[in-house]
Structure 1
Amino acid sequence: MHFMMCSLPQDIQREEGLGNFRKALKLIERWLKDERISSIQKERLLYEKERINRLLETYPFSEKQAIVKAKEIIQDFSTEEFHSLLEEGYIDYIVVEGEKKFEKRFIPNIGFALNEYRERIKKDPDSEKARSSLNDRLVELTSGAKPKKYRVHARIEAKIEDGAGFFRVWLPFPKEEFQISDVKFLRASQKDCFISPNSSEQRIVYFEGKEKEYFVEFEYTVREWVHNSGYNIDSNLDQYLCEEPPHIVFTPYIRKLTDTVTGEEKDPYLRARKIYDWITKHVRYSYVRPYATYENIAQYVAENLKGDCGFQAILFITMCRIAGIAARWQSGWYANPYFASPHDWALFYVQPYGWLPADLSFGGARRDNEQFRQFYFGNLDGFRMVANSGFARDFVPKTNFYRDDPTDNQVGEAEAEDRKVRLKSKIQIVKFEEIQEG
C-alpha cells in the first residue's frame, strides 16, 4: 500500500475534516476523471472511497446512543459524566454530515485512559481469570523459574455474512519459528484446503467454495521465551533496517524523537531498551480504528501517544531501525487456557543475543510493576500463537480485493469473485496443556 504515501488533494481533505463525506466522495470522482493525475494518485483516490466506508462503519453511534451504551456498561454512569469526558477529549468521535458520531469501542478506551472508570466497567470473567493466571506466572518467571513449554489445540471458524457466491477464504495458521514448534494440521471444513509454506510471512489456510462457513483446527508447541532460549539466528538483516512505507517511515519527527530518546548511548541493546522504556512509559494503550484507515501508524502513535499492541510495536520497530537496530514484526494470538484474541508484538536483533522479543503493550500495561514491565523487554510469556512474521505482506495465494486488514492476519479474510466480503470469526482454545520436561 505504498500509494498511502500520497496525500489526498486539499479540497478532499477539507471536506472530510468538516464531515462532508458525501461531498468528498463527489470530489474523488471528479479527480479520478482528471487526466493529469499519476497512477499512484489514482490508486490513492480509489482506495479513499473504501477508506471512507470503513471509517463511517467505525463510528456508528449518535450521541444519544453512545450515552445509553455507556450507562449499560459503566456502573452508575451519568449523562453529565459523558459530556465532561467528551469535553476533556477522552471520547473519540468524528462529525458526519453535521452530526457527531462516536467510535465503536469508546467505552473501554475511557477505562484505558482513566483508572477510576476502569474499575466501574463490567468485567469479563474469562479475561479476569487469564489476567490472574498470567500475573501468577510472571511472578514465577521474574523470580527465576524455569521456562515452560505448552501444547495447544486451537480452532478458528469463520462465517461469511455477505450473500451468495463462489468464495475465497484465508484463515491464519501457525508458523514454526523461534518459540513455536511442532505445528500439526488436524482438520478443516474442506479436505482440499491449501496451507501456505512455513516460509510465508503471513501463513494461512486457504479455501475455495460456495459454502459460507469455514474452520481449521491445529496444534502447536510454544515455549516461554526467557533469557533468549537459544534463538541466536544470524541472517541477512538489511531488510529489517529499512523503511516500509506507508507505516514504517523515517519521518523527521520520529528521527528527532529517536535521537532524543537514545541520546549518546552507543550499545545497541541499551539503545533498544531506551526506546522500549520511552514507549512503555509514555504511550497509553487504546483501541484504534481499523488499521486500513490510517496513513502512517508510527507517526500517529508518536504524535498522539496512544495506540493498541500493533501500533506500539510499529513505532518500536521504526525507532529501532532509525537507531540502526534490526527489528521486525511478530503476531498472531494471545492464547491462554481461557480464551484467545489477536495480538501483536516486535522482535529486535542485537549481538551476541540474536533475536529478542519486545511486547510494548504488555510492558506498558504493567508500568505500575517495574519488574513485570522490564520482563517484556527481551522475554515473552508462553501464551502465544504466531502466524505472522512480516507486516503488510501478501498472502500465498494473493487476494484480488482490498483486505479488511492489509497489515496483518489474525481472524481471516474472504472475498467473492466480484467483491470483498466480510467474515465473522471465532477463536477457540480446545486444549492447553503444560509439557513436562525431563
Structure 2
Amino acid sequence: MRDNELYFMRLEVPKELSDLIKRGLLSEAEELLKELIKGAEGDYRRRLEFELDRLRRWAIQYPYTELEAYEIASKKIRDLSREEFRELISSGCVDHITLDGDLRIYKRFLPNIMWLCPSLKDRSLEREDEGRVRAKEALSKRAREVMESRAEPLIFKFRAELILRALPKGERLRAWLPVPRVSALHPEVKIFSSSSEPYVSDEMHPQRTAYFELTASGSDDTVWIEYEVVSVPRRPMEEISDDLRELDGKPEAKHEEERIPHITFSEDLKHLVSSLTEGLDTLERARRIWDWVVENVRYTYVHDYALFDNISEFAFTKRRGDCGFQAILLITMLRLAGIPARWQSGWYANPIEWGMHDWAQFYIEPLGWVYADPSFGHPTEDWRKEFYFSGIEGFRLSFNSEICYPFDPPKESFRSDPVDSQVGEAEWDGGNIYYDMMDSKLHLLEVGRADIKWK
C-alpha cells in the first residue's frame, strides 16, 4: 500500500489546464480534463481525476457574491460602505477568487478581515464570546499549573458522530471516524461503545480510525463511537519517563525528508533556514526557526486543504495560514535544519470550548520528542511563546502523527481532506461524500483527573 494519499501530485498537469484553473475558468477546465482523462493511465490518470474532483469544491468554499458578502460584513463592521468593501477586496483583506468570470467570496472571509486588516477591529460590532473568554482563562490557568508542576493528567470521555445526509436506500456506505492514537500524550485509550462493531486500526497507526460499513436507510444515517483517553501535560524542556518516551518511538529517516506535495524544500526556504541557523547547536536552531514562524506567519482561516498544491510554500510566501499551515511550515523548516520533526493533530480539548487543531513535534536529545504549537505560541500573551516551544497543557485529543497517510482500510474515492483527519470521512458507490453531504459532531461527555503518573 502506498503511504501517501497524494503520491500522484509529483506529476504535473498540462500548462493549459493549470492556467485555466488559476484564471477560474472551471467550466473550460472541466471539459479539458474529461478529454485528457480518456487517454490517461495509471498515476497520471489518478492525478487528472483528482483535479476534476477538486473543481466542484471551489464553489462550495467560495459561496458568496460581492453583494451577499457586503450585506454580511455591513452588519458586523460599523459604517462599512459598499465602496470601502470593494477597496477591502482589492487590497486583499477579503479572500476572493473568480469563478467562470464571477467574483466569489470565501465562506469565512469575515473573521479573516479582522486578521488581515486589524485596523477594522475597532469598528467590529461583535463582542467577544463569553465562552471563548472563559476558555482562554481556563487555558492560562492550566498552563500555569503545568509550569508549576501542579497539573495532573486528565481523562476525557468523548462521543464522535458522523451524520450522512439521505443517500439512496439500500446503497452500501463506508465511514471512518478518527480515534486517538496511543502515544506519550495519550498513554491510555479505551473505546467503550459504538453504533455498530467497527474495525479499529492499530493503536499507533499514523491516522488512526474506526471503520464502519452500513446500508443506507434512505434518510439520514449516523455512525458514532465513544471513547476515553488520558491526556498528559508536559512542561517546556521537561524530561519524561522512559515508558512515555518509548510510546513516542525514535525518529526515522522520513522525519528529516520531504513529503510531497506539502513538505518540500524550496531554494528560498533553504536559504532562509540556513541564514537563521548557521553555526548553532540543535536546540538553538530549533528555537530560531520557532521564533521566525511565530513572529512572521499570522493566523487566518484557509479554504479546503485539498485545494492547495503546496501548503508549506503557501504559508512561507504568503506569511499566513491556520494552525495546520503553520505546523507544516515549522516541520518543513526544522527538517531543512536537520532536526527530526513530525505532525500531530486532532482537537484542542479545552473543557469549556473545544475545536479542531494541529501542531507539531520535534526530536532533541536527551528529551526525545517534544511539542511545538506555533499557532498557540504567537506572543499575544507573554507566556505563550515560551510555553508552546516544547510544552503542552494536556487539553489535547490527538488522532494523527503524519499528513496524507492512508486509512486502514484505505478509502477508495478521494478524501474530503487528503491531508488531515479530524472529523471523519465517508463514501458510497457513487464516490466521496463531501462536507456538504454530511455533518460531524464531537461531544465532551466527561473530564476528570487521571490516575496515572507522568514524571
Tell me which interval the TM-score lies in, with the shorter structure as reference length: over 0.9
Q: 1:177 aligns to what?
A: 183
Judged with a 3 Å threshold, the aligned counterparts in structure 2 of structure 1 residues 89 and 383 are, in CA distance, closer, same or farther, namely same
Q: Is the aligned partner of 1:248 residue 2:263? A: yes
CA distance in 1, matches of 2:78, 2:440: 30
Residue number among 47, 51, 55 corresponding to 1:52 in the alignment? 55
Aligned residue in 2 for 1:167: 173
Is 1:323 the counterpart of 2:360 in the alignment?
no
* Percent of residue pairs identical: 33
1:402 aligns with 2:428: no
The one-letter amino acid paired with 2:11 is C
Secondary structure in 2 aligned to 1:260? helix
Distance 1:359 1:228, change over 3 A: farther
Pick the aligned partner of 1:101 from 99, 104, 126. Answer: 104
- Report the AA paired with residue 324 of structure 2: G
1:177–1:232 Cα change, 3 Å: closer
Specify the alignment match of 1:28 in structure 2: 33
The residue number in structure 2 matching 1:92 is 95
TM-score by length of 1: 0.93
How many residue pairs match? The answer is: 431
What residue is the counterpart of 1:424 in the other structure? Answer: 439
Q: Which runs of 5+ in 1 are unaligned?
A: none
Query: Quick check: 1:131 aligned with 2:133?
Result: no
CA 1:132/1:272 → structure 2, altered by over 3 Å: closer, same or farther? same
The Cα shift of 1:141 comes to: 3.8
What is the alpha-carbon distance in structure 2 between the residues aligned to residue 38 and residue 243 of structure 1? 26
Letter in 1 for 2:369: W
1:372 and 2:372 correspond: no
| Residues 308-345 of structure 1: CA deviation (Å, up to 9, x unaligned) | 11111111111111111111111111112123211111
The alpha-carbon deviation at position 243 of structure 1 amounts to 1.3
Indicate if the aligned counterparts of 1:279 and 1:360 stay in contact, CA closer than 8 A.
yes
Separation of aligned partners in 1, 2:160 and 2:84: 39
SS at match of 1:25: helix
**Displacement, 1:136?**
2.6
Contact 1:336–1:429 at 8 Å: present in 2 too? no
Counterpart of 1:199 in structure 2 is 204
2:312 alignment counterpart: 298
CA–CA distance in structure 2, aligned partners of residues 171 and 206 of structure 1: 7
**Rounded Cα–Cα distance in structure 1 between residues aligned with 2:254 and 2:22:** 36
Paired residue for 2:222? 213
**Separation in 2, partners of 1:67, 1:178:** 47
Give a deviation string over 1:338-395, Cα, whole Å, max 9, x none: 232111110000111110000011002xx13343211100101111001111211111
Q: Distance in 1 between matches of 2:296 and 2:348?
A: 23
Aligned partner of 1:314 among 309, 323, 328? 328
Cα drift, residue 14 of structure 1: 2.1
Q: Over residues 256-298 of structure 1, what are the superposed CA-to-partner deviations in whole Å (9 max), with x where a residue is unaligned?
A: 2211222321x11111111111000000111111111111111
Q: Aligned pair 1:269/2:283, yes or no?
A: yes
Q: Output the CA distance in 1 between the equivalents of 2:359 and 2:120.
A: 27
CA distance in 2, matches of 1:52, 1:73: 31
Residue pair 1:336, 1:432 contacting (<8 A) in 2 also: no
Tell me if 1:68 matches 2:71: yes
Alpha-carbon distance in structure 1 between the residues aligned to 2:7 and 2:78: 45
Superposed displacement of residue 199, structure 1: 2.2
Root mean square deviation of aligned Cα = 2.0
Instruction: Classify the secondary structure of the residue corresponding to 1:90.
Output: coil
Q: Are residue 5 (structure 1) and residue 16 (structure 2) matched? A: no
1:53-110 alpha-carbon deviations (Å, 9 max, x no partner): 1122111100011011223344554434422322221111001121110001011111
Aligned twin of 1:151: 155
TM-score by length of 2: 0.90
Are 2:146 and 2:233, in contact at CA under 8 Å, matched by a contact in 1? no
List per-residue Cα deviations over 1:5-31 (Å, max 9, x = no partner).
Answer: 323211112222322111111122233
Confirm or deny: 8 A CA contact 2:155 2:230 kept in the other structure: yes
Deviates more, 1:22-31 or 1:320-329: 22-31
Which shows bigger deviation, 355-364 or 180-189? Answer: 180-189
For the structure 1 residues 189 and 251, does the alpha-carbon distance in structure 2 shift closer, same or farther, using more than 3 Å as the test?
A: same
1:193 and 1:232 mapped to 2: Cα distance?
A: 30
Shift of residue 228, structure 1, vs aligned partner: 4.0
Cα deviation 1:127-183 (Å, max 9, x = unaligned): 2321221123234444x3433211111111111125222111100111110121221
How far 1:38 moved relative to its partner?
Answer: 6.8
Give the gaps of 5 or more residues in structure 2.
1-5
Task: Work out whether residues 298 and 314 of structure 1, in 8 Å CA contact, stay in contact via their aligned partners in 2.
Answer: yes
3-state SS in 1 of match to 2:188: strand
